[in-house]
Structure 1
Amino acid sequence: MSFTTNGFILIVDDTPTNLDVISETLSDAGFSVAIATSGEIALQRLERRLPDLILLDVMMPGIDGFETCQRLKSNPKTEDIPVIFMTALSDTDSKVQALELGAVDYITKPFQEKEVLARVKTHLQLRRLTQEMKYQVTEQKNAKEALQVSEELLRQKAILLEEMLCKLQHTQAQLIQNEKMSALGQLVAGVAHEINNPVNFIYGNITHADRYIQELIGLLKHYQQEYPQPTEKIQKYAQQIDYEFLKADLPKLLSSMMIGAERIQEIVLSLRTFSRLDEASMKAVDIHDGIESTLLIIQSRLKTQASIPIQVIKEYGNLPCVECYPGQLNQVFMNVLCNAIDALETEISQPNPTIHIQTKVIENNRIVITIADNGAGIPKSISQRIFDPFFSTKSVGKGTGLGLSISYQIIVEKHQGIFKCTSVPDKTVFWIEIPLKQEREKSSSTQ
């Protein structure tokens, strides 16, 4: 059995420019390339020759990329061919749907040559390993001695394949979660921006309105002093509008409006702090600001199904600014706090649902954030799997099993920290530990 030197790739896209760009990139890299301008033509080509990998556009005339992928995965002859979708950069829903249909990855338009080649080479290598293992088993199943000799080779390849599959699963999980968090961050930042402009207008004008009203009231006082005996018509109107009450209450009304506008400004600031779309790089920030902004975002969820409010107890230590990726760290706080709320929502019999947040500095210039809840706890049978990608104890539609897995990668891999969980009945504690300063060469942003 032999394989194409670099691999045979089928590109499916109805846009000639896209076909020219990506086929030239792959051909220059030594790949054998075939093209199809629709899903129907692609399926016909597969009857003549099976490619090692398919690059599939989402939006096409006739059957689109999603339906084409479904047909590929339902056919035993083509189900194991890796499919990489080609989508627009902002098309988050399509990316998530593609991965859920069985695609192994996606590349975004406009194409980046290095990214395309890196993703294609990775998935071709994974496919070759899979095919070689199948070939070895087929060739040696009737030769006992040969099978014994190859056991070590198969074992090594199985270990390598398992490692690559695990890496691919982590990558796929991170792709889905990053797309969802990116969409959430853009939504939050957009809402904050749209609210901020009219609120600033209101807030800025209340001060002037208060001054103008005080001046008008002063003018009326001067009239009263100069003309102490108003006419009967003026007296009647003053009684009708309750002038004395209006004069005393109007400043209070303006003061309440000022307080309300200030509160909205605080909420907008918290939304911006949580999204931090402009802070994808590492920087020193106040961790407590991130926790507070996250709590504000989930404020509406701090009431259980039994209408018992969840009490949040905060014990903040005296923390210096911490060097980190602020947006990613806020994502961790969101995931852990939402899991705590989910646990308390199902514990209807708990009379005093509580989330306890504590921060402190420990030795070796590291900080610790612990988030604890007094829910039923995590059974030992599943406690070792809570950080696995796509593992979830929630019902279908309630959770994807990505939150804690992504949080683990953010803390351990991106921040050189420790992320662990201890659980007993009535107490589950998530331990987040990171250094005050990061080693630049080991860290990179993927936000």
Structure 2
Amino acid sequence: MEITPTILAVDDNPRNLQLISSLLSGKGYKVVVANSGENALKYLGIKQPDLLLLDIMMPGLSGYEVLETIKKNPDIVDLPVIFLTAKSELSDIVKGFAMGAVDYITKPFKSEELLARVETHIELKRMRNQLSENNNALLKLNQELTESKEIIKKDAEKLAKLNAEKDRFFSIISHDLRNPFNGCLMATELLFTRFNELSPEEISAFIAALHDAATNMNKLLENLLNWAQLQMGTLKTKLQPVDLSIAISNAVELQKSVVMKKDITITQKIGSPAKAKADQGMVDMVLRNLISNAIKFTPAGGKVVIQVEETAHEIAVSVKDSGIGMNKALQNKLFRINEKVSRPGTEGEQSTGLGLVLSFDMTQRMNGSLGVESEEGKGSTFTLTLPKA
């Protein structure tokens, strides 16, 4: 049986509360109202709604003070809070997000906008609750496993690894995916509320930021999906002759815009057509990840060299950059999902490290190997080795 979401609306204006209650109730939500910050906190001390619509300017406790109190209470710290206020200054909006609000709507609001945002955040909360339930189920399973002495002896190391992978996976979803999503929300909010005040250059910058955030989310989701499919065994490996020279050229072409933006020089040393026994889709993704990383961690004006070398039974593709490099400690963590190795690119590009983990797993599925040589401050060389066709 589906539970009706409960929304607590807080405003010192009875007409606003009546309007909000009528609008949301008509869409099937259960609406509870409070005419002050103090009354809102009293209610939150007894029950926890699914979402809080909070005015800022109120007699007694302001909306900022209410949110500050909420964030200090571990029982309700994760309650989604949307500011619904007449305060429309940029500084107020930035302060609201900085304090932990998930959204900011200015009055007078449009009914369609309020309903859309409420629906979005109710759904996000449902998804977070589902993730939490899944996590609790896994924790319960772990507890049951640890009660079995025989299983502990045989699978303790494997279980610890799975737990770490699970924690890292949830961390990527909750943190690395949330950051570009919040960036999209904030950019759209500022465009929506301040459009007429922004210069064409500022509008262009916001649109570019939206595009970058959406691109990052798409790439992260693609990597998450492929990694999950690998773990579940639903991503099948089809080994066949793959022309690496074509695959490399295609991977480089996909990075054309960022290469031009950072003025990176890419040199391809391929020679005669080189064919490996591999999975076409997996090869494309591994090469795309390696070349994308090389560009990401190479400063503007730098160089990336892609070279193909053959032996009697193998083909090696090396991607060498003139970037920032890395120390040995970081190199030893690169290909493990349970290790956090994320760091920004030379121009602040987002990086989770998941692409390399996925590339390593895919390479193993193709009976190949993936290695790295690097020195801090002197660049890195990643080498993909595959059997010859």
TM bracket, shorter-chain basis: 0.3 to 0.5
Q: Which has the larger radius of gyration?
A: 1
TM-score, structure 2 as length reference = 0.46
TM-score, structure 1 as length reference = 0.40
